[in-house]
A and B are shown apart, each in its own frame.
Chain A
Amino acid sequence: MHKIESKNVNFYYGENQALHDISLSMKTNTVTALIGPSGCGKSTYLRLLNRMNDLIDNTQMSGSILIDGNDIYAKNTNVDDLRKNVGMVFQKPNPFPKTIYENVAYGLRVNGITDKKLIEERVITSIEQVALWDEVKDKLKKSAFELSGGQQQRLCIARALAIKPSVLLMDEPTSALDPISTSKIEELIYELKNKYTIVIVTHNMQQAGRISDTTAFFYMGELIEHDTTKTIFTKPAIKQTEDYITGRFG
């Protein structure tokens, strides 16, 4: 069964149709890369998966998105539970104005966990999961802003992992980072896919090639092609995809 399954999804910002009839499925514990030129709808699609677009006024959505077989846009869906299950990492590292420890603990606290031992345990495992423990174990009480950009981004991933999601959405998570930090994050994604289903938006085609199992190419709000990354990068079925990945676009 597919972990995430979207059927005929249309999405509008006011009068503007941003997504046209997107049907896209992703298997459990795989990395799916969403690629395409700016404004092609890939980020919009990503934000549908944890209903982040709900926060924008005057939008409309049709079609259905199932996660673990449950329609996340059904009336009885609890959005908070959905978002707990679907973690998100953003383009720019955005740690909260708190200590390193509290950044990771925040998600636990707002979800009503008060057991100090449990919180500490989860914070530590989450930071370890993103391979940041050795770098921050002596300064957990320091402000998260003291970390480097790459460390901050890993902290943000740890923050998302702390509340035990099963899906991780990443919106260009390395576009603000230097090459070394980028490759660390990429290695991390490679590790994390053993436990999580990851959907990543990236402008960096090489990155999509390096880290993803399947790649979906979006163009002008439509899903042009979705296949294994290898197929997309070696023999795409559709001319537009070929033109885009070879850089002969437009």
Chain B
Amino acid sequence: MTKEIRLAKKKRRNQKIAFGLFSLISYAVVAILFVILAFIVIKGIGVISWEFISAMPSNGMTEGGIYPAIIGTLCLVLVSMVFAFPVGVLAAIYMNEYVKEGWPKKIIKQMTNNLAGVPSIVFGLFGMSLFVNKMGFGDSILAGGLTLGLLVLPIVIRTTEESLKAVDDTFRQASFGLGASKWETTSKIVFPIAFPNIITGLILSIGRVSGETAPILFTVAAYFLPKLPTSIFDQAMALPYHLYVIATSGTNIEASRAMAYGTALILIIIVLISNLLANALRKYYGKKVKMN
């Protein structure tokens, strides 16, 4: 009897220790995130003003704002998405709905995964040789956007594929069972059900695109260009590269230190907004096609 009680006590103690350990680790992770965020916010908040986000940089990038970099980044995101979204989604639909199981599919999948693992600087190099030189786009938003698009393509394909896979097979069977064709089934039934998850994956990849530096290094980014781009064939500034420049190779690194943190803060805010948007959209569409 007493032995059992002792055993139970020991069990409970072990459980407490384990739980304590786990919660400690989770809080530690959250804490690290907070420290980083707080660090950037504290250092950067001082320079944030309307002028900072709406004015051209001036005085060797130690004064003024980062307006062209923000616009440049938004343009790059737009171009990369316009490219990666349809291509990636269609590729994923083809892969998931049309290709039969077998070694060709396995190879394509493996390749897609490998592509996702290629360092971004390699994409930059590839983009430069293909878009900038071979296709003659020059250093331009188009070349940079396409390079970024290539970079996130495997991510778009993979999240779309996962979303499609998550659609219960009985929906397809029910549709085929009513005499619908493969295309009708995919476009009218499967895609709408998978859409909330696809859109989430897509917006998360926007975060990735807006933060990448290496691919735009050789393809679009301008060191200092105090004017807005007028077409997709123009060069442009971009937030991550601008951050890199003023933090490492600006005219006066010490003087622009605060601005570097401000830029970082803006970048984080953009990513944060796109994540929140992803959540909101997922919830909105999720309600429409709620699964039980």
- Complex: A162 Cα to B289 Cα, angstroms: 22
Would you call A106 an interface residue if the criterion is a C-beta within 8 Å of the partner chain's C-beta atoms? yes
With the chains together, A72 CA to B179 CA distance in Å? 15
- Which of chain A's residues has its CB closest to B191's CB? A97
Contacts of B168 in A (CB 8 A): 92, 94
Considering only residues 86-111 of chain A, those with a C-beta below 8 Å from chain B are 86-88, 90-94, 96-97, 106-107, 110-111
Give the interface size bracket for B toward A: 20 to 34
Question: Can you pick out 6 interface pairs between chain A and chain B where the beta carbons lie within 8 Å of each other?
Answer: A55-B176, A58-B101, A88-B173, A107-B180, A110-B175, A111-B179
B100 within 8 A of A: yes
What are the residues of chain B within 8 A of A91 when measuring CB–CB? 170
Binding site for A on B (CB under 8 A): 100-102, 168, 170-181, 184, 188-189, 192-193, 288-292
Bound Cα distance from A234 to B182, whole angstroms:
46
Is B176 in contact with A52, judged by CB distance below 8 angstroms? yes
CB-CB under 8 A from B288, the residues of chain A are 97, 143
Query: Other CB < 8 Å A-B pairs besides A159-B174, A160-B177, 10 of them?
Result: A55-B173, A57-B102, A83-B179, A87-B177, A88-B174, A90-B174, A94-B168, A107-B178, A110-B188, A163-B178
* Given A110-B180, A145-B289, A145-B292: A156 touches B174 (CB 8 Å cut-off): yes
**Docked-complex contact A83 and B189, CB < 8 angstroms:** no
**Contact flag A152-B292 (CB < 8 Å), given A57-B101, A57-B102:** yes
Interface size on A, residues (CB 8 A): 31
Residues from chain A with a CB closer than 8 A to the CB of B173 are 52, 55, 88, 90
> Would B193 and A55 count as touching, CB distance under 8 A?
no
- A94's partner among B170, B188, B192 (CB-CB below 8 A) is B170
Task: Count contacts between A and B, CB distance < 8 Å.
Answer: 78
CB pair A50–B177 under 8 Å, yes or no, is yes
| Least CB distance, A43 to chain B, in whole angstroms | 12
A226 within 8 A of B: no
Instruction: Decide: A160 near B178, CB < 8 A? Known: A90-B170, A91-B170, A149-B292.
Output: yes
Across the interface, which residues of B come within 8 angstroms of A145, CB to CB? 289-292
Q: A residues within 8 A CB of B175?
A: 96, 106, 110
B179:A94 contact, CB within 8 angstroms:
no
Distance of A163 Cα from B177 Cα, bound (Å): 10
Inter-chain CA distance A91–B168, complex, in Å, is: 11
Is the CB of A84 closer than 8 A to any CB of chain B? yes
**A50 to chain B: which residues have CB within 8 Å?**
177
